[in-house]
Homo-oligomer: A and B are copies of this chain.
Amino acid sequence: MEAVKRRIKMTVAYDGSAYAGWQLQRDVASVQGVLEESLGKLVGAEVRVNGSGRTDRGVHARGQVAHADVTTRMSEKSLLMGLNATLPPDVRVLSLVKARPDFDARRSAHGKEYRYFVWNDRQILPDRRLYAAHVYGDLDLERMREGAKRFVGTHNFASFCANPHRKIGSTVRIVTAVTISKRGKEITFSVKGGGFLYKQVRSMVGFLLRIGAGEDAPEAVTELLDTAQPRTARVPSAPAQGLFLWKVWYRSVTPKEVAHEA
């Protein structure tokens, strides 16, 4: 069998605790870096792995998506098994399928879901300390939900992102849903939208936590969206370890309807 050149789509879960973030950087461990190293060894050539977007230092993923072009005799199933056999245990490829040649993990994305976990008790349990933010003190769920629904829609999120004027162009984004649920001591925020600015989700959650603690009113969300000024100390960024890139949506990714789940 000849080596076949093709584009692959990978769904990747990772524990971001030990990484400087998704993006390849010199002299530090990155998730993109370990994926490129493992995939490159498997196919015997340098490979570029392109993610749907960056995640920051300490941020996790359950469903990051990336594409890469490979020329190899290996099947998708063999690539999947080979990757998980050589990757460190804090990075797992959950699925690997052949994609259309024009599939682009970033540009083809139709939407994303992030989840943010908060442990709301005096002490955070040791086994949750790397995967949730610790907040002690009463949080009013209904107040936070009142604030959350005000984020839904097409808004200018300049007040809810970092460095909005650096070079990112428009700060207008679509948020389709923000839901908040609680189970035991753990509060889960789910934020869905068409795409997100740098630190947008952590800024939104950071402000909702202020609302939950009574330090700001739910109506202040609308006020800050309307004024659309650069972010101030009034909108803190919730800590990295509570954030998971949960899912990225696409339409018709694969050439066939066959997927090898890992």
Residue positions of A touching B, CB distance < 8 A: 13-15, 60, 62, 84, 89-94, 122-127, 129-131, 261-262
* 4 other A-B residue contacts (CB within 8 Å) besides A13-B125, A14-B126, A89-B129: A89-B126, A90-B126, A122-B262, A127-B130
Contacts of A93 in B (CB 8 A): 123
Whether A126 contacts B262 by the Cβ 8 Å rule is: no
State the 8 A-B residue pairs at the shortest beta-carbon distance, nearest first: A15-B126, A92-B123, A90-B126, A122-B262, A127-B131, A123-B262, A15-B127, A14-B126
Which residue on B lies nearest to A18, using beta carbons? B126
Contacts of A89 in B (CB 8 A): 126, 129
The answer to whether B62 touches A13 (Cβ under 8 A) is no
The one of B60, B84, B126 in contact with A123, judged by C-beta atoms closer than 8 angstroms, is B84
B13 with A122: CB separation less than 8 A: no
Write the chain B residue with the least CB distance to A92: B123
Residues of B within 8 A of A262 (CB): 122-123
Q: Is the CB of B123 within 8 A of A91?
A: no
- Residues of B near A94 (CB, < 8 A) are 123
Give Cα A130–Cα B93 distance, bound, in whole angstroms. Answer: 18
A124 proximity list for chain B (CB < 8 A): 92
In the complex, which residues of chain B have a beta carbon less than 8 angstroms from the beta carbon of A13? Answer: 123, 125-127
**Could you tell me if A15 and B129 are in contact, using CB atoms closer than 8 angstroms?**
yes
A17 to B131, CA, bound (A): 15
A244 nearest in chain B by CB position: B127
Query: What are 17 A-B pairs at a CB distance below 8 A?
Result: A13-B123, A13-B125, A13-B126, A13-B127, A14-B126, A15-B126, A15-B129, A60-B127, A62-B125, A89-B126, A90-B126, A92-B123, A92-B126, A94-B123, A123-B262, A127-B130, A127-B131
Report yes or no: A126 in contact with B91, Cβ–Cβ below 8 A: yes
Cβ-defined contact, B261 with A122, below 8 A: yes
Identify which of A124, A127, A130 gathers the most chain B CB atoms within 10 Å of its CB. Answer: A127
Give the most central of A89, A93, A261: most B CB within 10 Å: A89
Contact call A90/B60, Cβ cutoff below 8 A: no
